[in-house]
Homo-oligomer: A and B are copies of this chain.
Amino acid sequence: MSIEQDVKAAATRAREASHELALATRAVKDAALIGMADALIANQDTILAANAEDVARAEAGGTEPNIIDRLRLTEDRIAGMADGLRTVAGLADPVGEVVRGSTLANGLELRQVRVPFGVVGMIYEARPNVTADAAGICLKSGNAVLLRGSSSARSSNAAIIDVLRDAVEAAGLPADAVQAVPGDSHDSVKALMRARGLVDVLIPRGGAGLIRSVVEESTVPVIETGVGNCHVYVDARADLDKALSIVMNSKTHRTSVCNSAESLLVHEAIADEFLPVVIEALQGAGVTIHGDDRFTEYDGVQTATDEDYGVEYLALEISAKVVSDLDEAIGHIRRFSSQHTDAIVTEDQTAARRFTAAVDSAAVLVNASTRFTDGGEFGFGAEIGISTQKLHARGPMGLPEMTSTKYIVIGDGHTR
């Protein structure tokens, strides 16, 4: 069989499994999740051995140390994956939730209830823990999942998926609810993106290039995740102590994540006071600043280009600009933001209200670090990714975002 046929066959098996999974009770699904968690621990030697192969291959190929760190599994990290599955078991089942309902004028009873998508395709990079996380979230939300991790993690992912499938089956659910996408080449990703009718939604997680290619090439509906060119705007009436700690936390708490800040805007009324303080603190933390001509008056600040304002550094770098008023800040954010997360620091209620209304991003924050845009921080208990599109789900996606709905209408011989 060709790769395309292999992928279609896997998707067809996933669809069959999804019918059974959609009807599974919460009790059965939770038992499967606990079983999956236990199985990861029980089989950790096998998983670690497979992971060692991936790490050795990556090291031999000269992969960067930070990528190898993301690839590497340890007993702690496997325990973390197991804990994640147990947490998902403890979350409410989104399937069957009545979103709205009413009795119509003619007596028809109308309910809109959450149902699984059916078959979800995940395309993701490097970290093998995503394999267990995604499998758990999809299973709990009643979806079969086709997992396509990066080829650098193929041995780890295959080992994890084997363990999870056995546990799913032991719980009385179809093993094909959790499958690896067959094949290792780009052709298999391509086949997945063309499996419209068999796959209900594709979720790419990874770098901007991966996400763009999936969005452009897929005929299966896509939920776009993750690229974050996030701004912190320090308003004329900001509390500068709060502003400093929010800027520093947003930029330096963790740099490789989509909700870290990449750009700083400062109102000119406080620029003389705030710039020396924030520049010293950022540079003291090792952050390279790419600024406009107000910022470049200070030592060590480099000149920012439009490219700097548009880029997601994911590193100890930040673009910076002084703006003449709130509207210029909003205009700059409209032009350059990836509409993931943008924050204002201000004590001015009117400015806060205007900023939150006019800035159209998945999360708009007032006097808080951009790092809070996160399913865990929002209290969702589990997160499959952060959507930066407007269709279906926007911002951190938990279990309810992994469902569709249907209308159930009950009558008694009703006709029009």
Contact = CB atoms under 8 A, between A and B. Distances in A.
A245 B409 CA distance: 17
Interface stretch (A64-72, A184-192, A366-374): A366-374
Interface in A368-413: 368-369, 371-373, 377-379, 389-392, 394-396, 404-413
Interface stretch (A131-139, A214-222, A277-285, A312-320): A214-222
Interface of A: 19, 22-23, 102, 104-105, 108, 110, 112, 115, 117-118, 196, 200-201, 215-216, 219, 221-223, 239, 241-242, 245-246, 248-249, 253, 334, 352, 356-358, 360-369, 371-373, 377-379, 389-392, 394-396, 404-416
Given A390-B117, A414-B369, A408 B108 contact: no
A368 B408 contact: no
- Which of A367, A368, A409 has the most B CB atoms < 10 Å from its CB? A409
Contacts of A413: 239, 241-242, 245-246, 367-368
B410 A367 contact: yes
Nearest to A363: B407
Contacts of A112: 395
Contacts of A110: 378-379
B363 A409 contact: yes
B411 A364 contact: no
A416 to B, nearest CB: 5
B368 A411 contact: yes
A118 B409 CA distance: 32
